[in-house]
Amino acid sequence: MGSYGDYDDLTAPHVIDIRSNVSELLSSEEIERSLKAEPPSFPSLLLWNEQGLQRFERVTYAKEYYLTNCEIELLKQHSHKIASRIEPSSVIVELGSGSLRKIVILLQALEDLGKPVDYYALDLSRSELERTLQAVSPGTFQYVRCHGLLGDYDAGLEWLQRFQNASRPRVVLSLGSTLGSFTRRQAAKFLGKFADALNHCVDGAVNSEPLMVIGLDGCKDGEKVWHAYNDAEDKNNEFIRNALDYAGRFLDNSVFQQHDWDRRGEWNEELGRHEQYLKPKRDIWFEGRCLKAGEKIFLVASHKYNSAEQQNSGLEQDSLNSRVGRHTSINTVTSPSLTALNLGQPCAGLYLLSTRRPN
C-alpha cells in the first residue's frame, strides 16, 4: 500500500481477492456428507451466496429483528469512544461485513477525529462487496479509505498476518450475528485465532495495541427471539429457503424443490439458541438415504448470551485471557484489556477488547 497522499481516488470499489483457492467454498461432496450423516444437516455456508447475503440484509430491516437496531444505537452512543482507541494508520477488518450500515457510524467517527485508516470489508461475494461498498465509495471520506476483501474467515486470518499488514496497527470487528452462529466453545476458539493473528506483528506495529470489537446478542426472551427469526413478512423464511436453491446448484435439483420443503424455526430454551430447520413434506431419497417426511434437518443456530453467560461462557478461556462481560455503563471489566459498551437493555452488547499479551 502506498501512503495516504499517493492514494488513487478511483470511483470503482476496491476489492482484493484473498482466497487461497478460487473454487467454490462449498462442494457437492460436503453437502452429501452432511445430508447422509446421522442426524442429517445442511452446511450453513449454503446461506451465504449472493442471493443469501441480499436476503439476510432484508431480514435486518424486519421490525421484529431487534439486533441490528440495538447495535446501531450502541454505535451511535459509543463510536467516538471506540474510534479514540483506534490508532492512526490502522488496518480495520470487519468479518462478514454485510450491508455496512452499522460500520459507517464508526467510520464517520474516525473521520471526525481525522484518523487516516484503511477499512476492509470481508465477505464471500464479490458482487455484494462491490454493491455495498458503493455506500462508502472514494470521496465519501477524507481520512478513511474503504476496501473489500473477498474470502472466508481463514483467508482473513492469513491476510492479517502478511508483512504489510502485520507492520501496522490492526483492529478486527465481529458484529451482528457472526459469533451467534457458533457454539460457545467454537466462539471462544474463533476469537482466539484472531487474537493470535493480531498478536503476530512486526516492525512499528510491535508497540501498537491490537483491538477487537465484538457484538453479542444478550436476549433470552424466547418469544422475542422467535419472532426475530420468524417475522411476519417472511423475510427470514425467504433467507433460509434460499439454501435449497443453492444446494440444487451442486446436486440433483429435484431433491431441493421448494414445494417439497417446509421451514421451521424453534427456540431451544435448554441451549439458549434459536434453531432453523428445513423439513421435507414427503419422503425424499437422496444417494441411498431417505430424508423422511417431517424430519427436521438442521441448518443454522443463533446463540444468545445472558449476563452470566457473557461473563462465564468460556470465552474467558480463549487466548484473549479476559472475560466477555456485560455492564450497563461504559467501564472496565475484569482487566484493563476489556471495555463493555452497553445500553442497559437485554438485547445486545458491544465489547472493545485489547488482545495484547503481557510481556
Distance CA 304, CA 103 (A): 22
Distance CA 34, CA 350 (A): 34
pLDDT digit string, tens, across residues 317-359: 333 333 322 322 222 222 333 445 544 445 667 888 888 765 5
Q: Which residue's C-alpha cell is 459498551?
A: 341
Q: Pick from 217, 186, 215, 180: which is nearest to 303 by CA?
A: 180
pLDDT digit string, tens, across residues 37-74: 999 999 999 999 999 999 999 999 999 999 999 999 99
Q: Does domain 11-18+64-220+305-354 have CATH number 2.60.120.260?
A: no
The share of the chain scoring above pLDDT 90, in percent, equals 64
Q: Which residues of the chain have pLDDT under 70?
A: 1-11, 22-24, 204-205, 307-348, 357-359
Distance CA 35, CA 298 (A): 10
Supply the pLDDT for residue 148.
Answer: 97
SS (H, E, C) 207-241: HCCCEEEEEEECCCCHHHHHHHCCCCCCHHHHHHH
Q: Hey, what's the cell of 103?
A: 460500520
Give the start-to-end residue ranges of the domains of the chain.
11-18+64-220+305-354, 54-62+223-303
Find out whether 211 and 337 touch, Cβ atoms under 8 Å: no
Find out whether 274 and 259 touch, Cβ atoms under 8 Å: no
Find out whether 72 and 101 touch, Cβ atoms under 8 Å: yes
Distance CA 174, CA 168 (A): 20
The share of the chain scoring above pLDDT 70, in percent, equals 83
Query: Is the pTM of the predicted complex or chain greater than 0.75?
Result: yes
